[in-house]
């Protein structure tokens, strides 16, 4: 019954045009230049108010409605990215991928179909795998991730350290990087344990050849510590809040963009990969 209600809720949101995508920029830490934007689902009330879509997403996770929701998000995010990549071709798009997508077994074909005709380059797509959700068949997941990598997609592990089998994912999945969740970042530099955890995550990532995005950066002192610890990229209110695509495109026209050959860190590293 709950599954049926979730499906009806998602379908109603789609039919009534209640969904909208906001984008939050991701910056290279040293230069502060924009390298990507994360697509974040939002719900629009009848009075025009924009609010979180977390409850809708959580309900959809329990049913096949997640596929309809993901398809809408991916299709529209791809189309939006094609718009700004005409202006700023080096700026990627980060899209969260539900673990339920891996259960169908046709993920790559579905993404190819959604991407077809949008004008977005596979190499500019960063998919974020949500670590907080259990992945049912890790071996099959690795196979699908390998296929995505062959297409040029970049893969990021979201919410590192808060979910299932963190180290196992790093060990076995063909990842390009991981994201330090805001739950850790919000307490630095005041909380010694959070500082130690953040330092360890960054060191682990770099030791195995991965890059790092720190989410939830809101204060200068957080940014300074992340710089000292060697984080590669940052995302958070210190730089900008999530915004409609029109505002993001306007921002790109006035904000310095980071081309791949002028990054202040390792020129061979590429940002590719969610915040709430």
DSSP class per residue in 5-48? HHHHHHHHHHHTT-EEEEEEEEEETTT--EEEEEEEEEEE-TTS
* Rounded-to-integer distance, Cα 23 and Cα 247, Å: 9
Mapping DSSP to helix (H, G, I), strand (E, B) and coil, where does residue 171 land?
A: helix
Contact between 238 and 220 (Cβ < 8 Å) = yes
**Model pLDDT, residue 97:** 82
Contact between 234 and 200 (Cβ < 8 Å) = no
Domain containing residue 155: 2-254
Q: Are strands 177-180 and 154-158 parallel, antiparallel or unpaired?
A: parallel
Question: Cα separation of 109 and 104, whole Å?
Answer: 11
Angstrom distances, CA of residue 34 to CA of 2, 6, 61: 41, 36, 31
In a domain, 271, yes or no: no
| 272 in a structural domain | no
Residue 275 located in a structural domain: no
Domain contains 101: yes
In the chain, what's the furthest Cα-to-Cα distance? 54
Q: Are 142 and 149 in contact (CB under 8 A)?
A: no
> Is residue 260, in this structure, part of any structural domain at all?
no
| Residue 2 pLDDT | 52
- Asked whether residue 108 is assigned to any structural domain, the reply reads yes
Rounded CA gap, 39 and 260, in Å? 21
Upstream peptide bond of 189 is cis (omega within 30 degrees of 0)? yes
Is residue 56 situated within a structural domain? yes
Q: Are 86 and 55 in contact (CB under 8 A)?
A: no
Domain count, the chain: 1
Residues of the chain with pLDDT under 50: 1, 259-276
Helix residue ranges per DSSP H, 22-123: 54-61, 65-87, 101-104, 107-115
- CA atoms within 13 Å, Cβ hemisphere of 69: 33
Residue 89 belongs to domain with CATH number? 3.20.20.450
Kindly state whether residue 261 falls inside one of the protein's structural domains.
no
pTM for this entry: 0.84
Cα 77 versus chain centre, distance? 12
């Amino acid at each position: 019954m709950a599954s049926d209600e979730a499906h009806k809720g998602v379908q109603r949101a789609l039919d009534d045009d209640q969904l909208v995508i906001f984008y939050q920029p991701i910056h290279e830490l040293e230069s502060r230049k924009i390298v990507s934007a994360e697509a974040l689902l939002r719900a629009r009330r009848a009075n025009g108010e924009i609010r979180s879509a977390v409850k809708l997403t959580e309900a959809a996770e329990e049913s096949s409605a997640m596929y309809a929701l993901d398809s809408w998000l991916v299709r529209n995010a791809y189309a939006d990215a094609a718009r700004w990549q005409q202006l700023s071709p080096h700026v990627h798009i980060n899209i969260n991928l539900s673990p339920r997508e891996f259960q169908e077994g046709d993920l790559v074909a579905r993404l190819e179909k959604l991407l077809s005709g949008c004008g977005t380059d596979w190499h500019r797509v960063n998919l974020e795998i949500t670590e907080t959700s259990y992945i049912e068949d890790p071996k099959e997941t690795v196979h699908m991730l390998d296929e995505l990598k062959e297409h040029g997609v970049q893969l990021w592990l979201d919410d590192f350290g808060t979910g299932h089998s963190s180290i196992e994912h790093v060990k076995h999945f063909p990842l390009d990087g991981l994201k330090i969740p805001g739950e850790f970042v919000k307490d630095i530099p005041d909380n010694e344990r959070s500082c130690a955890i953040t330092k360890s995550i960054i060191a682990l990532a770099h030791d195995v050849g991965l890059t790092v995005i720190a989410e939830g950066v809101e204060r200068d002192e957080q940014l300074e510590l992340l710089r000292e610890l060697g984080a590669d990229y940052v995302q958070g209110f210190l730089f900008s809040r999530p915004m409609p695509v029109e505002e993001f495109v306007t921002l790109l026209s006035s904000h310095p963009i980071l081309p791949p050959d002028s990054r202040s860190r390792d020129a061979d590293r590429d940002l590719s990969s969610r915040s709430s």
